Structure 1
Amino acid sequence: MNMSGAGKTAIVTGASSGIGRYSAIALLNEGWNVVITARRYEALQETQKMSSNPDNCLCLTGEITDEDFVMKLFDQTISKFGRLDLLFNNAGISSAQVPIENLSLDDFQKVLNTNLVGPFICTREAVRQFKTQSPPGGRIINNGSLSAHVPRPYSYAYTISKHAMNGLTKCTSLDGRAFNITCTQIDIGNAATEMGGRHGVGALQPDGRTIQEGVLDVQHVASTIVHISSLPPDVTVLNVNIMPTNIPYIGRG
């Protein structure tokens, strides 16, 4: 079996379920060393056991909004595996779809902290490591969303956080250029996970209807992550979109 990631190391955040879980498994199955992190240790262990190379996996629990934890996450990764080649900023949350006048500041800040502040801290630490290791360089993939471009109704916190992810992606790609650091944003529509799969049951449209939308097998997302991660460091995929063919996207309905 040709393992394209043999000897390489990745950190995947939000790996206890969904896109993070299946991307981590796909990387492990390709021979990567993978450090997976989330808040639920038992769920991380389940992710580890689902791969064909569980011995290449390190589970670390904590909050990616906690700066001290993130710094320890990177320290333990380097201590265990010696270097870092990939960071997948995947962890994210959403809030209830409500009019802005019903959205609390606390709920808004929770989404921004998880979806933007956490990836910022992780990106900072990854770039620090990429610049100092030998040979220098590495790749970051940010989990965006179709909402990074076109919002759903009543999605202020989530949409704002994902629009801001565009800025983080572009800044990282620009400033990393001289150091062999690449950055990609993957904008995913309706993957069959706990977060995205619910749109296959019914999703609110701009005209007020609730309709069943198409969903995408999460394995296609995971294989896309593996493909981007396998590219040589002189190749950058700045943005990639993957979604069901029949999903309402342009115009959102």
Structure 2
Amino acid sequence: MSQDAPQQKIALVTGAGSGVGRAVALGLSEAGYAVVLAGRRPDALQDTADRRPGATFLCVPTDVTDPASVQALFDRVKDVFGRLDVLFNNAGTGARPVPMYELSYEEWRKVVDTNLTGPFLCTQAAMRLMKDQSPRGGRIINNGSISATAPRPYSAPYTSTKHAVTGLTKSTSLDGRAYDIACGQIDIGNAETEMTQRMKSGVPQADLTLKAEPVMDAKHVADAVVYMAGLPLEANVQFMTVMATKMPFVGRG
């Protein structure tokens, strides 16, 4: 490769073994990125990688709630690629759809650790790498949710953490400016994944009735993230909402 040849960009996707994470990882790969696949299940990560034979993937089993595991992930990225251009903080979970007074502390803590502490730990490690690499800088994209501002009933842990992710996005944008690190957020409504299959049979509405809701292909989310990732660092999509057109969101409640 000549010295003038463009360097392949490196992206890292957490929760890359299924759903939105898998769709985004494949989308970034199709766009020419080398993609680091992070998640708890090694077999699921390998399944993602196997869907694009010949593409550049690095599977790194990771628990984003564990600081040591996150540090090992970013050490591996640095050792193999020497840099990181894009982080997609996607790994997330929810709790049982029950009134909050029925939730256990353990259920609450699991969602907070995964949905909020995980993105913080990954963002922190990414910023440390991005600010010192050459060329300096990079982009962090957080997976938020429209539930942050228009929650469903029985979603206190999920809604609370996704609301907090918006604060993390804004703080990261400010703290990263001095180092050419941009941060944006994508808020997703009803992407069709393993986690949203119940949408088709009925989910709680504001009046506590159950109603089936429209969904959209997760590829549309991937396309949006690829667009956000591909902008030059002088431009940034701060917030983007991608949703199933006919879902009850605008005017919900």
Q: TM-score, normalised by structure 2?
A: 0.95
Tell me the equivalent position of 2:158: 158
Task: Report matched runs for 1:1-253 at 5 Å.
Answer: 7-54=8-55, 56-253=56-253
Judge conservation of contact 1:41–1:59 (CA < 8 Å) in 2: yes
- Give aligned-pair identity as a percent: 50
Amino acid at match of 1:205: Q
Amino acid at match of 2:9: K
- Aligned residue for 1:91, secondary structure, equals coil
Tell me the equivalent position of 2:3: none
Structure 1 residue ranges, 4+ long, deviating more than 4 angstroms after superposition: none
Q: Separation in 2 of the partners of 1:132 and 1:197?
A: 42
Cα deviation for residue 251 of structure 1 reads: 4.1
Cα deviation for residue 201 of structure 1 reads: 2.3
Amino acid at match of 1:139: R
- Aligned residue for 2:176, secondary structure, equals helix
Amino acid at match of 1:161: T
Cα deviation for residue 236 of structure 1 reads: 0.9
Amino acid at match of 1:28: S
Equivalent pairs, count? 248
Q: Separation in 2 of the partners of 1:214 and 1:165?
A: 25
CA-based RMSD: 1.3
- Aligned residue for 2:192, secondary structure, equals coil
Q: Separation in 2 of the partners of 1:101 and 1:26?
A: 40
Q: Separation in 1 of the partners of 2:8 and 2:167?
A: 31
Cα deviation for residue 196 of structure 1 reads: 2.6
| Segment of structure 1 superposing worse, 190-199 or 74-83 | 190-199
Judge conservation of contact 1:152–1:252 (CA < 8 Å) in 2: no
Q: TM-score, normalised by structure 1?
A: 0.95
Amino acid at match of 2:233: P
Q: Separation in 2 of the partners of 1:173 and 1:222?
A: 22
- Aligned residue for 1:147, secondary structure, equals helix
- Structure 2 residue runs of 5 or longer lacking an equivalent are 1-5
Judge conservation of contact 1:203–1:213 (CA < 8 Å) in 2: yes
Amino acid at match of 2:28: L
Judge conservation of contact 1:111–1:158 (CA < 8 Å) in 2: yes
- Structure 1 residue runs of 5 or longer lacking an equivalent are none
Judge conservation of contact 1:6–1:30 (CA < 8 Å) in 2: no
Cα deviation for residue 206 of structure 1 reads: 1.0
